[in-house]
Amino acid sequence: MQYDILEALSQISRDKNLEMDYVLETVESALVAAAKKKYITNESIRAEIDRMSGEIKMWMTKKIVENVIDPYTEATIAQAEEHYEDVEIGQELDFPIDFMEFGRNAIASAKQILIQKVREAEREQIYEEYIKKVGELITGVVQQVDKGNIVVNLGRAEGIVPLKEQIKKEKFRQGDRIKALIYDVQKSNRGPQIMLTRGSADFLRKLFSQEVPEIAEKIIEIKAISREPGERSKIAVYSNDDRIDAVGACVGVKGVRVQNIVRELNNERIDIVPWSGEPMIFVTKSLAPAKIVHVDIFQEDKKMLVIVADDKLSLAIGKAGQNARLAAKLTGWKINIMSETEYNALRQTEEMEKVDIESIVDITEKLRAKLLSSGIETAQDIIRKGKEKLQEIEGIGERTAERLIEIAEKAISDKIAEIQKAALESGADKPVEYEFSPTDSETSPRLEEF
């Protein structure tokens, strides 16, 4: 019987992938808990299972007294001398107990404690195993689809692909194999919750690392990714070896490498662009396949005004603004797109809106001469200069600088009102500028025509 117990515990150890010592210690603690249910007043109980024979031994500590009041915690000298020699009053000695005396309820309790402890250990082991795998690809089998969430059987554990982490329009059925990325592992009462994603940029990054050896070997780096799962993605790559073409390596011979990834992503379109440390070049490449005519850079605002040929405007913007929106996310720059005709019209309007200081009657000849000598020729130059810079000009104090700015703003306002009135009378259209920010998540209603 003792051998059978040891064999049974060994089987539990193997099935649950737990250390044998842990299983034995768990059984010992379960036996102690069961004993305490019988011997309620005695907290000093211990159990031991022989690692070689499987023999179970249990003891409870009792104090030696003349008259026993509580038999669970006290014993007489005569009782003690059955196990020990030279016994004295006041000593605390261990007395053997038979676990078979506990009764059915106590044994059932010990069994329940054992099951619970083993289950807790198994959950903790699974948690420790998968927390180390966060950021790795994993393959499993779809177990069920529950309220839009995909439950995946990973073998010893279950994973969940939440609805928001799935690829749009992608459908899985029970029994289908599924590949995903582990992005989080959470502890719960039901065991570790292994959170999976197929819709993140990191999933796309890992697929490229798996498919392109040069990326795994860090010869090629993925510098940035912008993605709208199931629709389109842009990935910027850079080669640390001048002999290797980063884009070509990712595409593969006859496109085989990128096509394998496209198939895995339910035919999601992937644009692979070369990364550049020069922002203008990077933005230009990220807007491919549209051809860029001109770029105005506003470094302080981290914004670019990109001019494209009239017939390439819709291509640069993309369906519902998708191409430009992904380019903005990829580069981190706010991108404003305008057609060449509209840009020329804008520049013409800006030229028309210029107000020469020589035409502003509220500026004295003496003050006008000082401004011209400082390179300020228009009302727009006064505004750009600002109050502090204007005060650096000899003879211009704070009040004069403030007054100059007021005069310039009024002159510009009057000129714009005049131009707008003329435009309305002629029926001319106002130049259209399409703006895309790195944080945009929704399509602008202005882009419906595309």
pLDDT at residue 441, rounded to an integer: 57
pLDDT at residue 423, rounded to an integer: 65
pLDDT at residue 382, rounded to an integer: 87
pLDDT at residue 430, rounded to an integer: 62
The amino acid at 435: E
Residue, of 42 and 406, whose pLDDT is higher: 406
Residues 313/261, Cβ–Cβ less than 8 Å:
no
For 406: left if phi > 0, alpha if psi spans -120 to 50, otherwise beta; the answer is alpha
> Is the pLDDT reported for residue 450 higher than 60?
no
CA distance 349 to 340: 14
Summary mean pLDDT of the chain: 86
Q: Which of 79-88, 128-137, 237-246 has the lowest mean pLDDT?
A: 79-88
Q: Which of 263-277, 288-302, 385-399, 430-444 has the lowest mean pLDDT?
A: 430-444
| pLDDT above 70 as % of the chain | 92
pLDDT band at 445 (very low <50, low <70, confident <90, very high): very low
pLDDT at residue 384, rounded to an integer: 85
**Which of 260, 195, 266, 176 has its CA nearest to residue 228?**
266
> Is the pLDDT reported for residue 238 higher than 90?
yes
> Is the pLDDT reported for residue 442 higher than 50?
no
CA distance 137 to 167: 16
CA distance 437 to 449: 20
Half-sphere exposure of 280 (CA within 13 A, CB side): 11
CA distance 188 to 124: 11
- The token pair at 390 is 């204007």
Angle between helices 20-38 and 2-15 (to 10 degrees): 120
Mean pLDDT for 303-316 is 92
Task: Name, of 3-12, 41-50, 74-83, the range with top average pLDDT.
Answer: 74-83
pLDDT at residue 1, rounded to an integer: 42
pTM: 0.70
pLDDT at residue 351, rounded to an integer: 73
Kindly report whether the peptide bond that precedes residue 289 is cis, defined as omega within 30 degrees of 0: yes
Helix segments in 161-311, DSSP class H = 201-211, 213-216, 246-251, 256-264, 279-286
pLDDT band at 426 (very low <50, low <70, confident <90, very high): low
The strand pairing partners of 436, in sequence order, are: 335
Q: Other C-beta atoms within 10 Å of 181: how many?
A: 24
Q: How far is CA 383 from CA 85, 305, 330, 346, in A?
A: 107, 22, 34, 19
Q: Is residue 379 exposed (0-12), middle (13-18) or buried (19+ Cβ within 10 Å)? A: buried
Segment 391-422, tens digit of pLDDT? 888 888 888 888 888 888 888 888 878 777 77
pLDDT at residue 443, rounded to an integer: 40
Q: Other C-beta atoms within 10 Å of 131: how many?
A: 15
**Which of 175, 177, 178 has its CA nearest to residue 198?**
178
> Is the pLDDT reported for residue 272 higher than 90?
yes
Q: Other C-beta atoms within 10 Å of 415: how many?
A: 17
Kindly report whether the peptide bond that precedes residue 192 is cis, defined as omega within 30 degrees of 0: no
> Is the pLDDT reported for residue 354 higher than 60?
yes
Q: Other C-beta atoms within 10 Å of 348: how many?
A: 11
| All structural domains of the chain | 2-127 (3.30.1480.10), 133-199 (2.40.50.140), 201-275 (3.30.300.20), 292-450 (3.30.300.20)
Q: Which of 32-41, 96-105, 222-231 has the lowest mean pLDDT?
A: 96-105
Which residue's entry shows tokens 């007395």?
A: 95
pLDDT at residue 102, rounded to an integer: 67
> Is the pLDDT reported for residue 227 higher than 90?
yes
Mean pLDDT for 115-140 is 89
pLDDT band at 429 (very low <50, low <70, confident <90, very high): low
pLDDT at residue 105, rounded to an integer: 66
Mean pLDDT for 96-121 is 74
Mean pLDDT for 357-376 is 86
pLDDT at residue 183, rounded to an integer: 96
Segment 322-350, tens digit of pLDDT? 999 999 999 999 999 999 888 888 887 77
pLDDT at residue 427, rounded to an integer: 61
CA distance 152 to 139: 9
